[in-house]
Every structure is written in structure tokens, then in C-alpha cells.
Structure 1
Amino acid sequence: MLELAIVLVLILLNGLFALSELALVAARRPRLRALAEEGRPGARAALALTDDPARFLSTVQIGITLVGILAGAFSGAALGGYLAAILAGLGLPRGLADLLGFGLVVLAVTYLSIVVGELVPKRLALRNAERVACLVAPVMTVVSRVATPAAWLLDASGDLIFRLFGHSAEEPEERVTEEDVRQLVAEAERSGAIEAVERRMIAGVLRLGERSVRAVMTPRGEVHWIDATAGVEAAREVALRSPHSRLPVGDGSADALLGVIRSRDLLAALLRGEQPDLRALAQQAPAVPDTADALDVLATLREAAVPMALVHDEYGNFEGVVTPTDLTEAIVGAFRADLGEEEPKAVRREDGSWLLAGWMPADEMAERFGLRLPEERPYHTVAGFVLGALGRLPQVGDAAVAQGWRFEVVDMDGRRIDKVLVAPAGAVLAPAAPHRAGSGPARA
């Protein structure tokens, strides 16, 4: 029957509108841009439609509404009457036949509309939104142009209602936040698209982009440096004692640095029986402010002749040094050979609590425990976080509660916080075992 064919075509047309709506809404614009640059047919049309989502949604709604009205009219009037005549011919009373005929047709059309016209197309759109969007975009562009007057009227009506309720009718600016990236990477790990180690490295890159050089440098108190005024023998002792291949050299003070000496150049000259001129051996190293971004310093080191930067504060005082290794460790973590006897920065205990090193970066701690740290903060480590929470220099046993977690100082190295026990606030824990003071490096 012609009426039946028309109803089926209308249901399929409804499915096309549902497919197009969900595909274009769910499609990721960065992926569509990449497909457009590759020359994928329909990608640019899909981008154009997503640039004006209000107009596109109005067009889709017009199409779905018209299809629903036409399908109801044909199914009720034509198919319902046809089925009623068949039932009446089977001996049913005319009134009952009309009621059953109309009801069964409406039920059947509703079922097909839901399954064929909604569920199946939408599931298909979700499986590959970008590909489907590229396929349907040219057709929907034509439909959108034809329905422009009606779509404009609906769009303007929607804007008016928004304004009546005190909301802006403008679409929010598209912006991908760092949290969006983190969630996407976490989802990629859960789905098996990337490995756990890849996720940690990506997270490290994001953290590095937020850190200043002060958060990754080796602080002044732990820098091995050579005093040019102390003589060659004293320089030899420093070079032999230090595990580093390059050492800053100063003119009587760490605040009067002359440059950087390679340990092997100094030791090689001594093995040859020479008395090297320490000032002549010093190579110029880039100086950077302690407020510089870590990624900017990475670019500086990439171009520098000496892979070490000298960090100074706003008053010109020497604060520490930073090397490519410091920046790499912020991404991939420290290598075992570099750790030596240093204790790990985070250890989970049997009771579920965590023992953290005071020098552990605060942003890593926040990521581990789901804390929110201020974007502008005067500290970079767990020790600095605890000092800020307490508001004073602590003693062993002092504790602070922040964002549902309890931070207890369990070990001090002089005035420096060496170990912190972290557990949910109110948890009953076993006492932390004593730790050797000075077991790990400090971070400013």
C-alpha cells in the first residue's frame, strides 16, 4: 500500500534527523578540524553546522515535528481505517473494529518510530560521531537553508525566552580546559588506548607547564659549588665529593658566581699535573629568575651551550640550579640510579595512610589525594603546604586538617619538615615508624 510505504519513509526520515542531531552534537570539533584538514568530504560542512548549533537544532526540531505530524496523519487516517475494515470483515462490531484498528496502528507506528526512528540511529551516531557527522552534514546543510525562515523564528523565540529569564542567549565560548585533557587521558587509560605509564607522563607534562623553575630546581643549600678563592685543592675535594658532572664556581660567595666548571675538565687537568685557573675553566651559564616558568627554562637550556641554569631571586641572590635532568624527572620521575639511598616521596602504609617526603611536589600530592590548590601559592612542596596550613614552624606531632585530610608532621630535619603522615580526617592510625633525619632532598 502507498500509505504504508509513506509511513515507513517518514519513520526513516525521522531516523535521519535523529542521527544527524546526535552525531553533530557529539562530534568533537578538534577531530572535525583534523578531518577537514585531511580533506574528508563533509567535514567542513559539519564544522559550519556546529558553528551555529541553535539554528541547526531548530532545523532538526522542525523536521522531526513535521515528520511526526505526517506519520500520525497517514497512520491514523489511512492505515487505521484499512485495518478497521479488515477487522470488521472478520465479524467484529464496527465500533470495536474502528477502535482496535486505530489503536493497533498507532501502537505499531509508535514502536517503529522509537526503535527505527530514534534508538537505532542515535546508537549508530554515538559509535562514530565524527564520521556520521561528515556523512550527514551536506544533506543537513541543504535542509537548514530551506528551513531558514522557520528556523530563524524558532531561534529568535528561544533567545527571547532566555532573556526573559535573565540568561544570555549567546552560546558559551568553546574552550578545552586542562581538566578536560586530564579526564580524556584518564578515560583513554581506562579503555586501554594508552598505558598507565603514558598517562603518568602526560600528567607530568601538564604539571610541568604549571610549575615555576623554583619548584623543580636544586635549592641553594644542596648545591655543590666551587669557591675560586679557596684554591685548586679545595676545588678538587668538591669535585670528588659531588656526584654532579658540572659545578657552579663563585668568587668567594655563591652570590658571586662566575660560571660553571665541568668536573672532568678540572680533574683531567689535575691528573696531568697542572694547576688549572678555575676562573678560566668557568663556562658562562644562563641565569634565570626564580619566577620563570619551567617550560621557558627548558627552552633556554635547549639553546644554551651549558646545560645548567643559575636561578636568582628578584634581589639578585643565588637560589639554586636547574638542569635538563631536573625537568625530565618532573615528567617521568627520578631514575633509580639517581636516587641512591634517597627514600621514595610517597609510601602507602598497611593501614591505608600515606607517608610523604616533605620535598614531594605539592601538585603531585594534590593530584594523588584529589585536593584543590590555589593557582597562585607561595609554596611548591608538601612541606610548604603543611607550613601554610599550620601558619608557623611545626614540631613533630603537629597536625593540620585540610579538605578532609589530616597532615601530621612525623619527622623533622632541623627546621625542615622531612616526613608527613597523610590520612583521612578522623581515621585511627598506627604510629609512624621513626625515620632518619635528612633522608631526602629538600625543595624550595
Structure 2
Amino acid sequence: MFELAVAVALIALNGAFALSELAVVSSRKSRLRMMVEARRPGAQAALTLAEDPGRFLSAVQIGITLVGILSGAVSGAALGERLTEILFEAGLSKPVADPLGYGIVIAIITYLSVIIGELVPKHVALRDPEGIACFVARPMRLISRIALPAVWLLDASTRAVFRLFGQEASSASAVTEEEIRTIVAEAETAGVIETDERKMIAGVLRLGDRAVRGVMTPRTDVHWIDLDKAPEEIRAMLVSSPHSRIPVGEGNPDNMLGVVQVRELVKALIENERFDLRAYIRSAPVLPDTLDALDALTALQAADVPMALIHDEYGHFDGLVTPADILDAIAGAFHSEDSEPEAVQRQDGSWLIAGWMPVDEMADQLGIKLESSRDYETAAGLVIAKLQRLPETGETCDIAGWRFEVVDLDGRRVDKILVSRIA
């Protein structure tokens, strides 16, 4: 019975090491930091082990190895000999009782070691890795300190092998954007978040990768007031404009002076009073077209009027950006009565895509992967980059298993693209 108790204790100890190993390795550092701030017992020790897993894993491996050796040498041999005697007394011959007795004991210990010592503890650890890590961290840290010389040797040897192959022992990045997308998709499948929430999270992630020219209203679509026009023309434009804020220039769009807010002019417009438009011009931030969209949002939050003028490196006016443009990038476009949809799927499975559709949104829609470094922001830009020239109507190019056909041009601007999967 003593040998049996020792065998069970060793298997349980192996399970404790397996439980601790997977719990600490699977724990998310962000959650452990939150537990440290909440003063959860053991959280700081768990975070310390998670941030330096080399020594912890070395200590666990030493423990598991010693348990395996003791289990085989002490319990296995003693129990095998005891069972062999029982089988011999039951009438089996010595040549049969010896291998049968040891074989049965080895099979039972192996089975219990796999189930009780490995699988069950690891499944338990995966259910609540951070909570279990906090529970086991202090004793595991104590074991690491007791076995410090052996732990240091194993950890140093592991790092030396990694350096031999030109690698680092620690992970370069704990969480990638692709992993976040995968987690969000799994949460949507499980019903934890709604589909619209998943789309907005994807929009936020896309926004962080965009330059401001990828979210701005381009120069060709901007309604602006030219101070060189006659006062009657300016008044007519103010009255008919659907916008609450309008940029003002002098002579040409490259000479933008600022922005006027139509509501400040309502009284003068209604009563047909004469007014000096220059007196109502407010300064607006001027941003380079290479600025990140998130930095543009910060600039809009600090501006007197929530509108920024975008210029390229040569000083030419490229377009403007407003909080509505940022919101469109996150939540999707808001369609007015005269607006056209970004993408429409046809009955044959092909897509009719607007040339101005953001290329990252189009890539998500079609399930294609774009190169991380690119100098275009729209579906039309993708086609032009592929052809290396301005296309003509009817021209096609093949990209990532899809055929892109230019079906409509507005001047030299790509207006509509028909995208169909290549058979």
C-alpha cells in the first residue's frame, strides 16, 4: 500500500506541475496586470513568472523529470515486483508472471500519468488560466528559487541554443493585430458581441493603419467658396449648400484661407443683408496628407472648427477631413439620398465596386490580403497600381484570384469596377 500511495502522490505532483505550466503560459499579461491593480493575491508573482517564462519552465521541467524518474524507479519497480509475486502465487509460471506483472503496472501508471498527471490538469488550467496562475505562482516561484542553480543552467542552455539558430528565446510580440481580429471573430461566433460591434472594431483597427488621405473627402468632391466670385454667386452657393461648414479660398483651391460656419451667416442670408465673408472665416488646421488618421483625429479634437484642410508635400490642396469622415471609416458610410453604395453584390457572385471605396474595406469584403506597404488608399488606386497607368474602360487585371474590370470612367477617374472571381 505504501508503494501505491507513493505512485498516486507522484502522479498528482506531476499534475500540479502540468497545471502550473499551462496556466502561467496561457495567462494574458494584460489580465494579470489588472489583477495586480486589484490587489489579487498571487497576481504579482504570476505576472513575474509570465514575464520571465524561461526560468519558470526550467523549474517545471526539472520537477516533471524528477517525478517521472521517481515514479519509474520507486513506485513502478516496487509495484511491479509486488504484482509479479501475486501472479506467481496465483499459479502463473515465473517467466510469464514477471513480464505480465511489470507490464500491467507500467500500463496503469502510464494511463494514470497521462489522464491525471497531464490531460485533466491542462484542461482545468485552460478554463481559468489567470486565476489558477495566481494560485500556483507563489509555490512555483519558491521551487524556482530552491532549484536555482539547475534552473539557471537549463535556462542559459536554452537561450544558447536559440542564439545558435539566430533566434530570441522570448516572443517579439505578445499580441498581433491578426490575433485580435481572430479573437473578435470568435467572440462574434459565440454570441459574446454583435456583428455590428465586430465590424466597428475592425473599422477601428483599419483606421490605425490608414493615412489621412485614406479617409479625407478628396479635392474633386469638395464644395468650396471662391472669394473672387461675385457676391451674388457666393450668396447662392451658401443658400444651396447642404454643408454646415464650407472651406473658403481665394482664386484657386491651393490658396485656402479657412472655413466658414453657415449657421453664423443664417441671419444675414435670410434678411438679405450685405456682409463681409472674410469676417466670418475661421482658421482650420492644415495637415499633410501622409499624417496618420488617428493623429488627424487628435488635431480635429483640438481645432476651433472640426474640419482640417489636407495638403500634399508641394502645398497643393488635396481635400478635407471632418469627424464624420473618421466615423465613416469606423462604422461605415452614411448614405444620403443622392449617394451611391460602395459595393453591391450581384446574383452571379460578382461585385460592383465604387472606385472611391477604401481598399482595406474592399479587401475585407472580398477576403483578400493586401501588402502592408502601399501608396494607394482606394479600389481605383489598387487597379492603377496593378496596371501602372491610368486605365481605359473595359481594361482588366487579375489580383489575388479576382478579376478587376474597369466598367465606367468619370473623365480620367475610375468610377466603377466589376470584380469577379476567377474560375
Question: What corresponds to 1:381 in structure 2?
Answer: 378
Between stretches 280-289 and 136-145, larger displacement belongs to 280-289
Mind listing any 5+ residue stretches in structure 2 that lack a counterpart? Answer: none
Counterpart of 1:178, as a letter, is E
Give the conservation status (yes or no) of the 8 Å contact 1:75–1:109.
Answer: no
Give the conservation status (yes or no) of the 8 Å contact 1:288–1:309.
Answer: yes
Residues 27-64 of structure 1, C-alpha deviations (whole Å, 9 max, x = no match): 12222222222211112111222233222222111111
Counterpart of 1:327, as a letter, is I
Question: What corresponds to 2:358 in structure 1?
Answer: 361
Deviation at 1:372, TM superposition (A): 3.4
Quick one: distance in 1 between partners of 2:192 and 2:207?
Answer: 23
Quick one: distance in 2 between partners of 1:5 and 1:363?
Answer: 62
Question: What corresponds to 2:70 in structure 1?
Answer: 70
Mind listing any 5+ residue stretches in structure 1 that lack a counterpart? Answer: 428-444
Question: What corresponds to 1:255 in structure 2?
Answer: 254
Distance of aligned partners of 1:306 and 1:167 in 2 relative to their CA distance in 1, 3 Å threshold: closer
Q: Does 1:180 align with 2:194?
A: no
Counterpart of 1:391, as a letter, is Q
Distance of aligned partners of 1:232 and 1:32 in 2 relative to their CA distance in 1, 3 Å threshold: same
Q: Does 1:371 align with 2:380?
A: no
Quick one: distance in 2 between partners of 1:318 and 1:84?
Answer: 92
Between stretches 221-230 and 91-100, larger displacement belongs to 91-100
Distance of aligned partners of 1:373 and 1:99 in 2 relative to their CA distance in 1, 3 Å threshold: closer
Deviation at 1:284, TM superposition (A): 2.0
Distance of aligned partners of 1:325 and 1:7 in 2 relative to their CA distance in 1, 3 Å threshold: same
**Correspondence 1:28-427 to 2 at 5 A:** 28-163=28-163, 166-168=165-167, 170-336=169-335, 339-425=336-422, 427=423
Quick one: distance in 1 between partners of 2:188 and 2:98?
Answer: 59
Residues 229-288 of structure 1, C-alpha deviations (whole Å, 9 max, x = no match): 323321121123321111122223323223222223334202223111111122222222
Tell me, what secondary structure is at the counterpart of 1:229?
coil
Give the conservation status (yes or no) of the 8 Å contact 1:20–1:136.
Answer: yes
Give the conservation status (yes or no) of the 8 Å contact 2:162–2:169.
Answer: no
Residues 360-400 of structure 1, C-alpha deviations (whole Å, 9 max, x = no match): 00111122233333444332111111111112221221001
Tell me, what secondary structure is at the counterpart of 1:420?
strand
Distance of aligned partners of 1:374 and 1:80 in 2 relative to their CA distance in 1, 3 Å threshold: closer
Deviation at 1:169, TM superposition (A): 5.5
Tell me, what secondary structure is at the counterpart of 2:254?
coil
Quick one: distance in 1 between partners of 2:87 and 2:297?
Answer: 83
Quick one: distance in 2 between partners of 1:153 and 1:249?
Answer: 71
Between stretches 182-191 and 196-205, larger displacement belongs to 182-191
Give the conservation status (yes or no) of the 8 Å contact 1:232–1:276.
Answer: no
Quick one: distance in 1 between partners of 2:89 and 2:141?
Answer: 48
Quick one: distance in 2 between partners of 1:208 and 1:41?
Answer: 39
Counterpart of 1:97, as a letter, is A
Deviation at 1:178, TM superposition (A): 2.1
Quick one: distance in 2 between partners of 1:52 and 1:242?
Answer: 62
Deviation at 1:162, TM superposition (A): 4.2
Identity of aligned residues (%): 57
Root mean square deviation of aligned Cα:
1.9
Quick one: distance in 1 between partners of 2:160 and 2:247?
Answer: 68
Quick one: distance in 1 between partners of 2:244 and 2:157?
Answer: 71
Distance of aligned partners of 1:153 and 1:279 in 2 relative to their CA distance in 1, 3 Å threshold: closer
Distance of aligned partners of 1:249 and 1:70 in 2 relative to their CA distance in 1, 3 Å threshold: same
**Correspondence 1:10-29 to 2 at 5 A:** 10-29=10-29
Counterpart of 2:23, as a letter, is A
